[in-house]
Structure 1
């Protein structure tokens, strides 16, 4: 019994060492910049739709998540004002300005605004992961480097300052969203999913609905529906990618390979159903799995060189 207890303590200690392994402050800062910039741009793009949703009849409100505290819709001007304030907070979040105040407020504003958008008859899930990432970053010391207000000569806090756990958390959130999607497929369709018929039906119905409503259909939908064997292979690949998401937590080559496979999966969704998930398609969702500081620093260096040469 004592041996089992010691083994359990050892395993927990090893897990803690992995979870809290040091990471550069610049890596977490790079994630703050990339995720914050994406969220701000996404919010700007959603403003017209939010303004339209805010004018829908009150009878159509079906509160989702935090919006459950409302008993009636907010005035349209208030909805737009909250969205604009959230964009401003996200810009401060991205810059790392007043981070201890602006980051939690930006996360709350984003959660509120996108929940409100989903409370009018259709629950959107394309932006769930970005909201989770912003919330996680708001709870982390993500402004210890590359932040507005830090002195030009002030060095970033060292890798032992507690940045590694936050990077791991963002990576775990990315991994978990795909794992949950894979488990949901098995719960709904079981092993029947592997023969390709559920995917074939999903592609056919989705594109038929788009065609009837005058929307754009996917370019590969019709050809693939006529080839069940290909759809069976794609079904197996999709499930393998989703259930294999925890491999991304291994880091290194395994994480990069899984991320590219997941990105290809989303390209396939566009080509077969014309459904876009911009967050992973732009690769921002997968940045926690790699050395994100390199991805952010490279365009910054190119920008500085272009400015110097002009």
Structure 2
């Protein structure tokens, strides 16, 4: 079990995941949850903090407190995305974002799509330093990614448990999706709703998919990626029909992906170098210019390949 929890992964994967998560936190503040700043206009007696907010205890949100958290978290998340001071900046972002979520969810509604993201923020500071493109393996980084993966799958499995606990079998045969389509459905959802019994079948399918989600850990790597692709397609359909994005959950779910292969900065440099004008240098005889050939960068290791050191030069 310990070996599975700490399965080593390339440091480049940890670096890419760290950058993505912290950039998402910055985007979340300005795109997905800017409405948290409006909580200061709500009377303080309506603030009913979550259990963690009562246990610490945390103060009732004020305009000053929320403003300081917003700008501090935005700046620190952007700095943390660079990979510098991973522990100091990581713990600071984790603490501030947790308080941001406590403020957001202490007025009567709790979103379960934040669970995986919060776990990722809590474990990333323990992964240590990691550089983009580094193929050397790290068990600490593997543990951080594995724990995030478990949180992502628990989000699915516990969602099914909650459906059956509070809704019972009526959740499967009721009008849950029909009500969601009436409230926030799209034109595509209206077409789907016209097919007899299709929404009931979809409700059975959703619960089955959530209950079976832990199977992803028992699949070979290629099939595991295929199942994660199915998870993303499920959320794509959810967005297209009832406009629910689960964006924080989707960001945390990238912990399953070989992110070390995605290197946009390297691709951009190669593209710029390929499109850059070639320099003319004098030819060997001095008669005319010769074109200086552009040097291609050395190929980089892909996936989980580890560079071999100390191999003899001869056959």
Q: Aligned pair in 2 of structure 1 residues 35, 18: CA closer, same or farther (>3 Å)?
A: same
**Number of residue pairs matched by the alignment:** 273
Q: After TM superposition, give the deviation of residue 179 of structure 1 in Å.
A: 1.2
- Return the TM-score normalized by structure 2: 0.77
Select 2:8's aligned residue among 11, 17, 22.
22
Residue by residue over 1:57-100, the C-alpha shift from the partner in whole angstroms, topping out at 9 and shown as x without a partner, is 11221112433245752320221111211111212221111112
Query: Could you tell me whether the CA contact under 8 Å between 1:65 and 1:115 is conserved in 2?
Result: no
Q: Indicate whether 1:170 and 2:138 are aligned.
A: no
Over the aligned positions, Cα root-mean-square deviation in angstroms equals 2.6
Whole-Å separation in 2 of the counterparts to 1:186 and 1:60: 30
Question: Which residue number corresponds to residue 234 of structure 2?
Answer: 265
Select 2:92's aligned residue among 73, 80, 105.
105
Q: Indicate whether 1:255 and 2:224 are aligned.
A: yes
Q: Indicate whether 1:188 and 2:174 are aligned.
A: no
Query: Could you tell me whether the CA contact under 8 Å between 1:218 and 1:270 is conserved in 2?
Result: no
Q: Structure 2: 5+ residue runs without aligned partners? A: 277-315
Question: Which residue number corresponds to residue 306 of structure 2?
Answer: none
Larger gyration radius, structure 1 or structure 2: 2
Secondary structure, aligned partner of 2:267: helix
Question: Which residue number corresponds to residue 279 of structure 1?
Answer: 248
Whole-Å separation in 1 of the counterparts to 2:265 and 2:136: 22
Q: After TM superposition, give the deviation of residue 46 of structure 1 in Å.
A: 5.0
Query: Could you tell me whether the CA contact under 8 Å between 2:19 and 2:81 is conserved in 1?
Result: yes
Q: Structure 1: 5+ residue runs without aligned partners? A: 1-14, 147-154, 211-215
Whole-Å separation in 2 of the counterparts to 1:63 and 1:191: 31
Select 2:74's aligned residue among 67, 81, 87.
87
Residue by residue over 1:10-46, the C-alpha shift from the partner in whole angstroms, topping out at 9 and shown as x without a partner, is xxxxx22222222111111111111111111112225
Q: Indicate whether 1:291 and 2:258 are aligned.
A: yes
The within-5 A match list for 1:5-154 is 15-46=1-32, 48-68=34-54, 69=56, 73-141=60-128, 143-146=129-132
Residue by residue over 1:99-146, the C-alpha shift from the partner in whole angstroms, topping out at 9 and shown as x without a partner, is 1211011101111112111122332333332122111212322x2223
Question: Which residue number corresponds to residue 207 of structure 2?
Answer: 239
Bigger helix share: 1
Deviates more, 1:258-267 or 1:225-234: 225-234
Deviates more, 1:253-262 or 1:97-106: 253-262
- Return the TM-score normalized by structure 1: 0.78
Following TM superposition, the consecutive aligned residue runs of length 4 or more in structure 1 with deviations greater than 3 angstroms are 69-72, 155-158, 188-194, 220-228, 306-310
Deviates more, 1:22-31 or 1:269-278: 269-278
Query: Could you tell me whether the CA contact under 8 Å between 1:178 and 1:243 is conserved in 2?
Result: yes
Query: Could you tell me whether the CA contact under 8 Å between 1:63 and 1:70 is conserved in 2?
Result: no
